Amino acid sequence: MKIILNHVVKGENGENLPETSCSFESGGVTVVAVETAQRPTVLSLLATGRMAPDEGTVTIDGSDDAARLRAVTAIVDAPDVSEPVGDLRLRAIVQEELMFAGRPSNRNATAAALDELGVTEYAGWEVQNMPTVVRLRMLAELAALRPGIEALVLTAPDRRGSDPLEWWDVAADLARRGLAVLVIASPASAALLAEVGARFEADRLAEVERREADLLAHLLAENSIPEPSPKDPS
């Protein structure tokens, strides 16, 4: 699956979002630099089909199917959109997300989910006080539990501080599981991640080529015509 934003603009003269182009696809991580406080949220809404651009196009696998785009994407921790209320306890957030995912959300199920996510020690914490990377990983993993989700948009994770290389690891882990990941960050963070992002993409493409070559070899082997057996001279 591949989502492409082609010269999208929002607002008069790009006030809400100036002309922006990017793409993200299954198994990959794309980092996009966006400035100002509100523009990351605007871009996340455009990238997931939840807002229409004033100019430009947003497509999924070559189609402008906004309904499908909304169905397969989730926005993670976007200000004013999906950011949890700061004073909510983590336990309550996990329970709510389990309900959204159509999973059991009773006390035992919530405790099991906290343990699986590795955040049991933070169960009683207000989410605003959690370490940035722990918070991001937890919210991303919960969003990925929702039925049909194939892509995640991590929105301005650097607004809470922390080393960008740490939350890059969160994005990369999600992509290695086949999800398409778009990270919307500040220009400074995007510049810092340019080299590691390029290495990740090169490794990903090399792995794709290897798998395609293995598949081709397998198909050729299955469809090869065996050499005829030598005739018995008698």
pTM value? 0.87
Strands 2-10 and 55-60: antiparallel
Q: Which of 17, 15, 149, 130 is nearest to 76 (CA)?
A: 149
Q: Is the pLDDT of residue 10 over 90?
A: yes
What is d(CA 133, CA 145) in angstroms, rounded to the nearest whole number? 18
Is the residue at 103 inside a domain?
Answer: no
Of 8-22, 97-111, 112-126, 201-215, the least confident? 201-215
Is the residue at 37 inside a domain?
Answer: yes
- pLDDT (average), residues 179-204: 92
Query: pLDDT digit string (tens) for 105-136?
Result: 999 999 999 999 999 999 999 999 999 999 99
CATH number at residue 65: 3.40.50.300
Amino acid sitting at position 80: D
Is the residue at 129 inside a domain?
Answer: no
Q: Which one-letter DSSP state was computed for residue 3? A: E
Burial label, 6 (beta-carbon count in 10 A; 0-12, 13-18, 19+): middle
Is the residue at 29 inside a domain?
Answer: yes
Number of domains in the chain: 1
Is the residue at 121 inside a domain?
Answer: no
Residue 210 is part of which domain span?
2-84+149-218
Q: What is the pLDDT of residue 213?
A: 85
What is d(CA 110, CA 94) in angstroms, rounded to the nearest whole number? 7
Is the residue at 72 inside a domain?
Answer: yes
